[in-house]
Chain A
Amino acid sequence: MKSLHQDLIRLLSDKQVLTQPEDLMAYASDATYYYASRVPDAVVLPVTSEEVARVMKYAYEKEIPVTPRGAGSGLAGGCTPINGGIVLDMKRMNRLLEIDHDNMTAEVEAGLVHRQFTRAVERQGLFYPPDPQSAAVCTLGGNIATRAGGPRGVKYGTTGNYVLGTEVVLADGSIIKTGGKMVKQSSGYDITHLIAGSEGTLGIITRANLRLLTLPPVNNTMVISCSSLDQAAELVSAIIASGTVPAMLEFLIKLAIMVMNNYITPPLPLDYEAYLLVDVDGTARQVQEDTKKIKDICQDLGIPDLRIIEDPHEAASYWEARSKLYPLMLSIMKRVITEDITVPRNRIPDFVRGVQAIAADIAIQIGLAGHSGDGNMHPTILQPEINDEINAKAKQAIDRIIRIGLDLGGTISGEHGIGLHKQEYLEWEFGRTQVELMKRIKTAFDPKGLLNPGKIWLEGGDAE
């Protein structure tokens, strides 16, 4: 590996190449650390697209696998370097290149942290809606590569809906520009949206053009208490069916509120089984109307309690707590496996009932805390212990949950991507023909199979 180290230093500089074990171990996995199987052979820290291109060209010639990495906050094992090789840490490419008011677009480097970006955008009265809960750390490149979303998906969609263009370094080191500042384009294949969601398997995203909106002037957060999970699920479907589109509509079981109460000030009493955390935004009038509509629906369904959170600090504490929910769960569990099934929203009640039945049947704890407004229910397998028996149960539960989700017309991933975590289920969703098509696309982009190898589908075929 000495020559790899020296070669890379020659291409970049000695401060941009890491090969000591204490450095490499930091790059062995993402947030799903249990997928770590080995460390990379080298970590490279580029600052320009040209540097990325140089590294790619070299890796292509030497046939070395390359795994791009943003913050490593992924929940699918996407940036885990299972075949070793080079990890490209993109975080030093973190410039906000432009906020273009006239076109309502921004141009960014891929390593820019989501929150740094949205803060700058919001200071100018503009709005970038995609809101992965990991916003404090995750990178825009990682967001694009996974088509990340969040609570605002219900009204505003996810990252894929905001990417207008990209700059991508291909496997052989050539640099292409796709799309641009235009808000529409009908020429050629839509490579931009093939790159979005490609999880580092088709090319290295180095820059992106993103679409911006105007910041909604008013918003209103409310918390709705429901006497059962079923009731909460019915309420979600009823709100969506009514035509009211909240900005955020989060489903939270009691256990979730219990841990979130570490951050919610003042804490919410735990009197009910399920809660919806809702936000409506827009003009003052629209917010008023939406709030009233939701109130009326709650009344019709006999929902026990709806509380409007007037104090902005208190409301902010709910959303902060929500963003920390996953690590908070982990503080009381040994392992938390977050599934990412997304179902059509009128099927949420069926899905919630199905998950509860599986939990009872297998005798395992399954949490539900999802962006229910867009049908992304995040069933989470909660493991108080890690041992063979409970691991086997977890696996069984996941298989069955995925089966139900697909039977209801859903998808296995709404926003996290497939990575290593769900690759055995890809064919369940798409069937062999479509997966084979994906593989041919992959080969067209990456003939030597060097870009983030071993992800999205299982090597060698189906699992069913």
Chain B
Amino acid sequence: MKKIEEYAEQISRCSHCSYCQASCPVFMEDIVESVLPRNRIEVILRSVIDKSMPLSPRALEIIDRCLLCTNCTQGCSSQVPIDDIVIAARSAISMQTGGLSGVKNLVMGKMLRQRGLTALMGKAGAMVQKVGIATKDMPPLAAKTFDKFYSGTVKAEGETRGRVAYFVGCGTNFMYPDTGVATVNVLSRNGIEVIIPEGQVCCGIPSIAEGDFKSAREMIEVNVSIFSDLEVDAIVTDCTSCGMMFKEKFTKVLETADPLQEKISNLTSRVWEVTDFLNHLGLREIPGPMDSSFTYHVPCHRAWSPTVRHAPRQILTQIPGAEFRELENPERCCGAAGAFYMAHRELSEGIRAHRVQDIKDNGADLVVTQCPVCRFYIGSALKEQGTEIVHPMIMLARAYGFNGC
């Protein structure tokens, strides 16, 4: 893992062009340049790296007020890896100050490292309530987690066209098993055998967001040992953030000399977001007609695949009768960012309000997005108007006639 000090050179590459004013959702909401990515990394340089300024409460706040959405990094022509710099700074800070607070530690550290501990989730919920976070802010927990629906191997229907291993993210496992059920069924219907390995754990992205590299490494180790030796054409995930973690962040979290590095490079080349994967392969059979309009909210964590942002549009417009309506600013952040919205309520709700307005103006019957946190966060604001938001695989599954998702 690159130490924060090693980023000093890249920070100095910032040209001060200020173009990140057009990409950072936090800046656009606050409209104050203190939280502009350019200043955020400058604060990191001075208060964490060269220590020419103290690490004041305001400095911490500026470092904390970042969604890690990667929009700045995607738009920066000087290629400053701003989100990596913020992550490394948080890691350095958490090492200095002795780690995470109680609730976060419980949720991040324990629950996500071990699957099947749904009870813990309830306990975390209770604690979260105690510290004043309303339950409506908590993601809905599925009565039956995805690992109770499927594990092991699901055979392809008809002639087998390929074989994939399915990495089931926490969002799908705990909150939205319907995405997983849809994914398995749609893949199988399209001639793909799906292996759902047991023992897989969280991808680790919530931990690196807090700068907790130690927990992240433990999770990476488990997942790498499970996935790297499988004889499959691809490792698919339904979640764009898990995909980014596998594809881009694994190698950055580990030390350069870490023995896991080699296994990772062999593994990451085979990682796909499932809609993207299926779109590349091509649908075997055109699904049934669907008389509804839909729009697509593109998740922020999209840059790890050049095609992931086109896949839902391309694949779902093959459903006869489904009318696609492009959203205004399709790539605008929704403000949730993992658990960020719980700690920065006002800010996140402000960011979300724009996204929700775009969706209202658009007027489509259905919104699709590949990120479970976007689905939850946007979805909870869309409830009253009755617009549904689901994973693209769910829409596709419905078109194929699967009930129950």
Contacts and interface: CB of A to CB of B under 8 A. Distances in A.
Interface string A1-41: 00000000000000000101111011101111100000000
Nearest to B17: A327
Contacts of B62: 22
A137 B39 contact: no
A45 B42 contact: no
Contacts of A33: 16
Contacts of A89: 32-33
Given A20-B58, A23-B58, A136 B19 contact: yes
A72 B21 CA distance: 10
A326 interface: yes
Given A262-B77, A330-B78, A31 B31 contact: no
A73 interface: yes
B218 to A, nearest CB: 34
A408 interface: no
Given A31-B15, A137-B19, A25 B43 contact: yes
Contacts of A22: 34, 39, 43, 47, 53, 56, 58-59, 62
Interface string B1-24: 000000000000101111101100
B79 interface: yes
Nearest to A336: B15
Contacts of B76: 327
Interface in A81-113: 89, 91-92, 94, 113
B10 to A, nearest CB: 11
Contacts of B39: 22, 25-26
A31 B78 contact: no
Nearest to B62: A22
B266 to A, nearest CB: 28
Interface residues of B, number: 28
Contact of A327 (B15, B31, B32, B59): B15
A114 B8 CA distance: 33
B32 A25 contact: no
A113 B43 CA distance: 25
Given A89-B32, A89-B33, A327 B53 contact: no
Contacts of B79: 331
B334 to A, nearest CB: 19
Contacts of B58: 20-23
Contacts of A32: 16
Given A18-B32, A22-B58, A89-B33, A30 B16 contact: yes
A73 B33 CA distance: 12
Contacts of A23: 32, 34, 58
B271 interface: no
B33 A26 contact: yes
A27 B31 CA distance: 13
Nearest to A15: B32
A115 interface: yes
The interface residues of chain A, by DSSP majority, are classed as: mixed
B36 interface: yes
A303 interface: no
A354 B76 CA distance: 34
A21 B17 contact: no
Given A22-B43, A26-B39, A137 B18 contact: yes
A394 to B, nearest CB: 17
Contacts of B43: 22, 25
Interface string A327-339: 1101100001000
Interface in B65-91: 76-79
A89 B36 CA distance: 14
Given A22-B59, A331-B15, A331-B79, A71 B21 contact: yes
A31 B34 contact: no
Interface in B203-218: none
Contacts of B15: 31, 326-327, 330-331, 336
Nearest to A263: B77
A102 B117 CA distance: 66
Nearest to B47: A22
A331 B13 contact: yes
A45 B22 contact: no
A145 to B, nearest CB: 16
A324 interface: yes
Interface string B294-325: 00000000000000000000000000000000
Contacts of A71: 18, 21
Nearest to B18: A73
Contacts of A262: 77
Nearest to A16: B32
Nearest to A23: B34
Interface string A63-88: 00000000111000000000000000
B77 A137 contact: no
A328 B59 contact: no
Contacts of B42: 25-26
A324 B36 contact: no
B22 A324 contact: no
Contacts of B36: 26
B57 to A, nearest CB: 9
Nearest to A75: B17
A71 B19 CA distance: 9
B56 A115 contact: no
Contact of A72 (B18, B31, B53, B78): B18
Contacts of B19: 134, 136-137, 324, 327
Interface in B36-55: 36, 38-39, 42-43, 46-47, 53
Given A25-B42, A26-B39, A331-B15, A72 B33 contact: yes
Interface in A268-303: none
A44 to B, nearest CB: 11
B163 to A, nearest CB: 33
B25 to A, nearest CB: 14
Contacts of A72: 18, 33
Contacts of B16: 29-33
Contacts of B21: 71, 113, 136-137
A26 B16 CA distance: 10
Contacts of A330: 13, 15, 17, 77-78
A20 B62 CA distance: 12
A327 B78 contact: yes
A112 to B, nearest CB: 12
A45 B35 CA distance: 14
Given A22-B56, A25-B42, A31 B18 contact: yes
B310 to A, nearest CB: 12
A262 B78 CA distance: 11
Nearest to B13: A331
A327 B77 contact: yes
Interface string A372-416: 000000000000000000000000000000000000000000000
A263 B16 CA distance: 20
> Which A-B residue pairs are the 10 nearest by beta carbons?
A330-B15, A26-B39, A136-B22, A327-B77, A26-B33, A327-B17, A23-B34, A137-B21, A33-B16, A324-B77
Interface of A: 18, 20-23, 25-27, 29-33, 43, 45, 71-73, 89, 91-92, 94, 113, 115, 134, 136-137, 262, 324, 326-328, 330-331, 336
Given A23-B34, A73-B18, A330-B17, 9 more contacts: A18-B32, A20-B56, A21-B56, A22-B62, A25-B39, A25-B46, A31-B17, A327-B15, A328-B77
Interface of B: 13, 15-19, 21-22, 31-34, 36, 38-39, 42-43, 46-47, 53, 56, 58-59, 62, 76-79
19 contacts: A22-B34, A22-B58, A25-B39, A25-B43, A26-B36, A26-B42, A31-B15, A31-B16, A33-B16, A43-B32, A45-B32, A72-B18, A113-B22, A134-B19, A136-B22, A330-B17, A330-B77, A331-B77, A331-B78
